[in-house]
Chain A
């Protein structure tokens, strides 16, 4: 399969996302309109009050006296340029704050999903190869318990064990602030800070991948080509890695793409508990401080990230499954 084919397939999928993104823009606009108070209220509140005529003038200046359609159009025109308005809490443009926070969240997402995917796939495959044995039962039970454990409860219990009782891991933050580590010391420091958040966020997804991988392997093992490969004398290891895993991974990759937005949502709780300065913690603070512009900016940015991730999983999927007709 040529790279250009894969690309044009993925690009077509990307185009299908355009109406979805437009809908999300309209949605955030409606949410902003539903929220009590507008930009001018926030401004006036900041100034400590103003007279009615001045407020009228401000409203006209910000275009808030225009019909809703005009306001929507202007809002969308601004958002396309990643201009999400002004944050009255930080006294900075929303976009600036968002860029500062993005890195931490992407780091947490990356580490959590890699962990959940790797361990989930391996455990799922092992469970399926020893289906209905003691190993399988133990792994499956573990999956059910992981699924049922709320991330915030798990976080607290890990803090209790590893930070309070044992003193091995730091309680929160993304780095030791007073230490000014550089180079590898800095990387090691950040990694230590990320261990518990990563574990807390990844566990529930680990259980999803585990269960799906187990079901998927059980299904693929039954297929004819596996029997053929075995008849040709392929060893068990080669059979597993080369023939079974590659095909069984397909639904898991699909789920990975589909669930990315849920993982982003889950980071709100985990980042808040571990005081990680990412988008999730920002979302929580924006709700507390009623910073609606910020909240809508986060929603839109997250939506864009999800669309990009789906694009990447489409590429990966096309690479893994040569049967996909690239229509």
Chain B
């Protein structure tokens, strides 16, 4: 903490630049960023590729890829354009991924912060609840929630958040337990700062870096969960989804395997991009952590 005050002469580069330099040192992270940018671009331009409806009939059923330039990646057994499905699927994957991640981290931060800050019986109760959620197989709970709430995209996002908040909660709790008796917190407390602003303004900003890194993992898992649901035919039927495309492709696997393979590769690359991004973020935000 005091090291920065001893040698001042050179002006430090702005924080954003420093973070970017540390991030960019990791080549794989740059590849992740590139892939992620590609997916975002696909989600943004989905309306240009297929302005009407990705689920409409766009050509003859089971057109092979690269044979008809009106449908470059071919069509499935219902004549739906695979390229359009890919672009609109990116939209749904990202939407569900981002919202479910924000929601689960929100729940996780709240539970973890209360648990770690107050300790005692609050901690006991909240931790037992967390363990209960960790004990139930997450996909089975997800299925039950979808069975009860219904398969609309909002409820699927909510259900994914409900099954994935436990890991960030435990992380935030651990950070809070180690930070709550540090000097800067005691100092603020002695100045009469309220508990709420101790939690959210003093401790939380210091506890966030590992959670931000972990967000990339939750994002990847959310996308995998959504696509698994859609693969089983339990996704929202009103939207194109990669998982659903693979599920539909299963019935024509013997003859036209590309129907399942193309969206499968899309999921693989998207999830890969999040893993790589996460490693880069880790390098940028936790530079002192030993490189493993």
Chain A: residues with CB nearer than 8 A to chain B? 17, 19-21, 23-24, 27, 31, 34-36, 144-145, 147-153, 156-157, 159-160, 164, 214-215, 218-219, 258, 261-266, 268-269, 272-273, 280, 283-284, 286-287, 290, 292, 295-296, 298-299, 302-303, 306-307
Contact = CB atoms under 8 A, between A and B. Distances in A.
A268 B275 CA distance: 24
Please indicate which of the listed interface residues B137, B138, B234 has the most CB atoms of chain A within 10 Å of its own CB.
Answer: B137
B292 interface: yes
A268 B143 contact: yes
Interface in B190-224: 220, 224
Contacts of A24: 132, 135-136
Contacts of B276: 144
B232 A272 contact: yes
Contacts of B147: 35, 286-287, 290, 292, 295
Contact of A27 (B132, B138, B290): B132
Contact of B134 (A159, A258, A286): A258
Given A150-B224, A302-B137, A306-B135, A215 B257 contact: no
B246 A283 contact: no
Please indicate which of the listed interface residues A265, A283, A306 has the most CB atoms of chain B within 10 Å of its own CB.
Answer: A265
Contacts of B146: 287
Please indicate which of the listed interface residues B128, B135, B142, B232 has the most CB atoms of chain A within 10 Å of its own CB.
Answer: B135
Nearest to B291: A218
B137 A144 contact: no
B144 interface: yes
A262 B138 contact: yes
A36 B146 CA distance: 12
A255 B212 CA distance: 21
B231 A152 contact: yes
B224 A23 contact: no
B131 interface: yes
Interface in B243-266: 243, 246-247, 249-250, 253-254, 257, 260-261, 264
Nearest to A295: B144
Contact of B144 (A149, A150, A273, A287): A287
User: In terms of DSSP, what is the predominant structure of the interface of chain B?
Assistant: helix
Contacts of B268: 145, 148-150, 153
A306 B148 contact: no
B135 A20 contact: yes
Contacts of B231: 150, 152, 269
A264 B147 CA distance: 19
B228 A269 contact: yes
A220 to B, nearest CB: 12
A298 B141 CA distance: 10
Contacts of A307: 135
B34 interface: no
Contact of B128 (A23, A157, A258): A23
A35 B148 contact: yes
Identify the 6 closest CB pairs spanning chains A and B, nearest first: A265-B139, A265-B137, A153-B264, A148-B271, A215-B292, A264-B137
Contact of A284 (B232, B254, B267): B232
Given A148-B267, A150-B271, A268-B143, 5 more contacts: A35-B147, A152-B246, A273-B250, A283-B140, A287-B143
Contacts of B139: 262, 265-266, 268-269
Given A20-B132, A261-B137, A159 B246 contact: no
Interface string B231-244: 11010000000010
Given A31-B148, A148-B220, A290-B147, A265 B140 contact: yes
15 contacts: A148-B271, A150-B231, A152-B246, A157-B260, A261-B135, A268-B143, A269-B139, A269-B228, A269-B231, A283-B143, A287-B146, A287-B147, A295-B140, A299-B144, A302-B140
B272 interface: yes
A292 B147 CA distance: 9
Interface in B142-180: 142-148
Contacts of A280: 140
A237 B137 CA distance: 39
Contacts of B243: 150, 152
A156 B136 contact: no
A164 B254 contact: yes
A62 to B, nearest CB: 20
Nearest to A153: B264
Contacts of B135: 17, 20-21, 24, 261, 303, 306-307
B264 A284 contact: no
A284 B143 contact: yes
Nearest to B227: A150
A261 to B, nearest CB: 5
A152 B139 CA distance: 14
Contacts of B260: 153, 156-157
Nearest to A273: B250
A258 B137 CA distance: 11
Contact of A261 (B136, B250, B290): B136
B275 A34 contact: no
Contacts of A299: 136-137, 140-141, 144
B49 interface: no
Contacts of A298: 140
A260 B244 CA distance: 27
Contacts of B145: 31
Nearest to B272: A148
Nearest to A204: B224
Contacts of A215: 292
Given A35-B147, A152-B228, A160-B253, A262 B275 contact: no
